Chains A and B, each alone.
Chain A
Amino acid sequence: GQSLEQPSEVTAVEGAIVQINCTYQTSGFYGLSWYQQHDGGAPTFLSYNALDGLEETGRFSSFLSRSDSYGYLLLQELQMKDSASYFCAYNQGGKLIFGQGTELSVKP
């Protein structure tokens, strides 16, 4: 079958580093994307990995290991505004298949 697994909730303090893991299972895989969604808002694109390795975009980095069917999103120097839901999603021939999301709470 096809699925993605990620933790449902993560809590961290301002200024800290947090890692959100994602494992996937699929028969067709083109790459792993990460989206951020604030309450009531639209999913916003953060990062995309098509190949193994680390992609860095400012405070956010994303990693992919295709052999392990595993990726993670790393958020550094956490800010209160980073409190949101984070979704991993794999691209499958155009469409995105999303995980159920990780709700990140950043505490002062």
Chain B
Amino acid sequence: DTGVSQDPRHKITKRGQNVTFRCDPISEHNRLYWYRQTLGQGPEFLTYFQNEAQLEKSRLLSDRFSAERPKGSFSTLEIQRTEQGDSAMYLCASSLAGGPDTQYFGPGTRLTVL
């Protein structure tokens, strides 16, 4: 399968712990996006990269969140000092810049903060 993959698929953590998620985009895609989705809502944009450069970060993203894409391939999203409000599905998507720039989503990582 050459689609977007995410790891882990599920994460349960205690409040105050740090968590890190990984996303592997479609190999030829140079853009990579992170979104967060809570029950009954649409995905909410967090940040995106073009190659290794982080081009935009949502103002809603607190300083506890950081994302990297060091070699322009996979990306990691770290949440420090997790809070119960961080419980959500974290979705990664990738696209090829230019043209319709259609974004293809991975299966997501479901985070539960106890």
Contacts and interface: CB of A to CB of B under 8 A. Distances in A.
Interface of A: 31, 33, 35, 41-45, 48, 50, 87, 89, 91, 93-101
B108 to A, nearest CB: 6
B102 A43 contact: no
Contacts of A95: 33, 45, 48, 56
Most buried by B among A35, A50, A95, A100: A95
A35 B42 CA distance: 10
A48 B99 CA distance: 11
Nearest to A30: B101
Contacts of B101: 91, 94
A101 B107 contact: no
A7 to B, nearest CB: 13
A94 B48 contact: yes
Secondary structure of the A contact surface, majority rule: strand
Contacts of B31: 94
Given A96-B33, A96-B103, A100-B42, 10 more contacts: A31-B100, A35-B105, A41-B107, A44-B105, A45-B102, A94-B97, A95-B33, A95-B48, A98-B43, A100-B41
B101 to A, nearest CB: 7
B107 A33 contact: no
Contacts of A91: 101
Contacts of A48: 100, 102
Nearest to B44: A98
B43 A45 contact: no
B45 A97 contact: yes
